Structure 1
Amino acid sequence: MTSIRSSVHDLHDDSIALKPAVEDCIRPLKDRFAVSCDYDFSERMSRDVKLCFIGVIKEALSNTAKHSDGDSIKIIIREHPALYQLSIADNGSCPEKIDESGIGLANMRERAASLNGNINITSGSKGFRIFLSVPKQNLTERRS
């Protein structure tokens, strides 16, 4: 029974394809921004991480579309032996101090915290940047 549950769980995790989901998120922005994506991760990434990354990417791209005066966006998704990383950056100029009162940034922080991850959000003359890391160890412990 444990083996069957594990197999079903793995199938469900695999049902979310991260790369096509990201491509769907960026498609509406391609007329206004040059968007580049760098992917380096295995398909064994957990469903929770995939959903977290998709949610953060959607929110970041929505904010960029609304507020950025830049013309390019770079998304990087990497898997390392001990953690997963997501980086999103645009080349627009924005205030050094970010308005933290919006629900979007709070949602990103909550998504990161739900996986014991760290998120760093910065802004300034070189653009808006989000850097998110999620340790793999915590994901393993959450499933036990």
Structure 2
Amino acid sequence: MSIIVWRRRRGDLALAAAVLFAQSVPFLFDPEPWQLAGYLPVVGSALPLVFRRKAPLLCLLLTELCVGAYDLIGTGPAQPVWYGALVGLYTVADLAPKWHRVAALAITAIGLTATVGAPATAARELLTWSAAYALGALTRGRRELARANARQAAELAAARERARIAADLHDILGHAFSMMVVQAEAGAAVAQRDPERAGTAFDAIATAGRDAMRQLRQAVGTLKDRPPPGLANLGDLVGQAELAGLHVRVRSSGTPRELPTDVQLAAYRMVQEALTNVVKHAQAGTVELRTGWTGGGFRLSVADDGVGSARPAAGGHGLSGMRERIAAAGGEVTVGTGLHGKGFKVEAVFP
């Protein structure tokens, strides 16, 4: 038995005991003699509460029958013994299926019509029983709303995860294929006159392919015991870019400190996307990668000396995805002119 189920059963036992106690107190102070038969309906109106969650309608029927029996026997103190029945009606409104709720309302209405005499008494009891049902219906509505919100949150989380995986696949495959194409073209061009250089190019292709496969497995969660790439893995990206023929300068300022995992992954993907774009489009010779820790923030930039434009539109879909990824990690992306007044620069700032 789970802890939640045990707690609920213990609570229902306590509730049944409380109802029995409340309806037994008048017997202790009643100056008139009473018989055991007059007390049995009191017990019968409390005991069904023990299984009220498992069989709400049956619990209500038994408690309401005991309410009628108490009035019919008439040897006990003058008191209402509806407490158990009111809890039963609340439980039906909260937990029972629709047709059980309709049946409960019909049975309760018939019982009130048959047993209540004066109009004032009828109005009071109608208000009391209606309030019990309304509270149960309100509880059911709040629970259903909470479930709907939980389902919506789960669907949103799943959509975000799909978007994250799609962005990771875009970054991983785009970077790997760009490096592999560049190296393949270079290898093919020098295969005849410089076999050693061609071999280096093909080794770079194999390295890029293996790295892409490793990251793909991480992206889809098959290597959950391995952390996602971060700042410590930027050297791998730099090495791949240099194999593609770029000269990469790495600059760092400030005192490094540990950053959240989502920030590190966003930074890694930004550098990956930026270097991929340089290899594919910039016709650059030099790239500068800067990291900086200032105060409580972190700054990261990639600048080249190629032919890229400083306009935001030049980044295309890759820049748009980069902005979204950085924003999701709490940062902001800006773009501008690259090295020596030429090329392109992308910078991310995390507060």
TM over 0.5: yes
Match of 1:68 in 2: 282
Q: CA shift at 1:112, angstroms?
A: 1.6
Query: Which one has a larger percent helix, Structure 1 or Structure 2?
Result: 2
Q: CA shift at 1:111, angstroms?
A: 1.4
In structure 2, relative to structure 1, the CA distance for the partners of 1:95 and 1:43 (3 Å cut) is: closer
Match of 2:349 in 1: 133
**Residue 59 (1) aligns with residue 273 (2):** yes
Match of 2:320 in 1: 106
Tell me, what secondary structure is at the counterpart of 1:25? Answer: helix
Q: Is the 8 A contact 1:119 1:132 kept in 2?
A: yes
- Mark the runs of 5 or more structure 2 residues left unpaired by the alignment: 1-224
Q: Is the 8 A contact 1:109 1:119 kept in 2?
A: yes
Identity %: 25
In structure 2, relative to structure 1, the CA distance for the partners of 1:16 and 1:43 (3 Å cut) is: farther
**Residue 25 (1) aligns with residue 237 (2):** yes
Structure 1 distance, partners of 2:229, 2:280, is 27
Q: Is the 8 A contact 1:38 1:76 kept in 2?
A: yes
**Residue 44 (1) aligns with residue 258 (2):** yes
TM-score (norm 1): 0.73
Q: CA shift at 1:96, angstroms?
A: 4.8
Structure 1 counterpart of 2:239, one-letter code: R
TM-score (norm 2): 0.32
Structure 1 counterpart of 2:246, one-letter code: F
Q: CA shift at 1:94, angstroms?
A: 2.4
Structure 1 distance, partners of 2:310, 2:322, is 19
- Structure possessing the higher relative contact order (Cα contacts under 8 Å, 6 or more residues apart): 1
In structure 2, relative to structure 1, the CA distance for the partners of 1:27 and 1:42 (3 Å cut) is: same
In structure 2, relative to structure 1, the CA distance for the partners of 1:123 and 1:98 (3 Å cut) is: farther
**Number of residues paired by the alignment?**
122
- Aligned-pair Cα RMSD in Å: 2.4
Query: Which one has a larger percent strand, Structure 1 or Structure 2?
Result: 1
CA deviation string 1:31-75 (max 9, x = no partner): 411101123452412211110100000000000000012200000
Larger Rg: 2
